[in-house]
Amino acid sequence: MGVFVFLPLVLPLSAWPVARLAEPHLHPRTATRLLTAFATVMAVCSTLCLALLMVVGTAQLPGNPLPDGWSDPEVRAAVPYDEIAGKAAIPALILVLAVCARTLWRHHRIARRARRALVGLPSSTVVVLPEAKPYAYALPGRPRGRVVVTTALLRGLIPPERRALFAHERAHLTARHHWYLLAVRLAARANPFLRPLRTAVTYTTERWADEDAARSVGSRRVVARAIGKAALLSGTGSAPAFAGFSGFGGVAGFSASSGFSGFASAGPVPRRVAALLGPAPVARNWPPVFTSVGLAAWGAAVGTLVSAMSSANSAVTMFLILHAATPF
């Protein structure tokens, strides 16, 4: 194994440049898919790294569950490991698994709360709630999910802007953005170095829905205006906890809890509006190589590949050594 077992823990740093450059230079659909793939693979590899280190650390503990042959000095000598890192990996892995399990539990709990709030209402794909708080969100579900919006928000928008709002939320459901968001949230829980990718994907999924909405309504300016108005309206009140579904694997593109404090705020709304007022992004599956974002994407891809190879190499080495030390 050697130092290769430690590489997946720090290689997520190689994805930071592309997380920073993907937002303004890539089509949001491409950026979302690339960043989610990088984050997921790197998170799995770093978790596997901790698991392998935990096996080594467990061998140092009295009464460990591993076979007696694993404690043989010759076997230990065949495994280049750091004794302190091996023991430290035990609580680290337990913490990672506990935090990821808690994230999944909160995701399902908020989804249940959101669905319970709609019990007794018509089973249509659009639900309008007679509330004074302006918010809207997309609730994933079978067969197509539901778009929930309040009358307070609808009153503040003219008909074309309402169509933009509904198109935005339906785009979230159609593209299943909640799975991308849940994946990067779990990845960031597994390895804190992946948090910039989670932040970037949270933004690119909104931009993806913005572009789909603009294509649906036929006007980028109408979508930009709808986003600005919704942000201003949402800044006057707070939405229910489940309206912030984007934080737990769902989406709440126009809700106050999505972090939109106003049109002139320093949050993502001004960037989204500016992007919509500019030319439409070019759809590519991969950025051009000899550009800053292209080089950053290749750097992240190489980092992801090395992380996967290091994890595989360490896992195979650990299996062979443990197998050889296990009496049959």
What beta strand segments (E) does 106-162 contain? 126-129, 136-139, 146-150
Distances (CA, A) of 290 to 27, 74, 170, 198, 298: 17, 50, 36, 26, 10
Q: How far apart are the first and last CA of the chain?
A: 24
pLDDT tens-place string over residues 260-273: 222 223 358 888 99
**Chain center to CA of 142:** 22
Q: What is the pTM of this model?
A: 0.84
Share of the chain above pLDDT 90, in %: 38
Are 272 and 6 spatial neighbours (Cβ–Cβ below 8 Å)? no
Are 147 and 125 spatial neighbours (Cβ–Cβ below 8 Å)? yes
Q: Which two tokens stand for residue 97?
A: 């698994």
Residue 246's CB: how many other CB atoms inside 10 A? Answer: 24
Burial label for 100, CB within 10 Å (0-12, 13-18, 19+), is: middle
- Which pLDDT tens digits describe the chain residue by residue (328 residues)? 566 778 888 989 999 999 999 888 899 999 999 999 999 999 999 999 888 888 777 666 655 555 555 555 555 555 555 667 777 888 899 999 999 999 999 999 988 888 888 888 878 888 888 888 888 888 888 777 889 898 999 999 999 999 999 999 999 999 999 999 999 999 999 999 999 999 999 999 999 999 999 999 999 999 999 999 888 887 654 445 444 454 223 334 443 333 222 222 335 888 899 999 999 888 888 888 888 988 998 898 999 999 888 888 777 777 776 666 665 4
pLDDT tens-place string over residues 125-146: 888 888 888 888 888 887 778 8
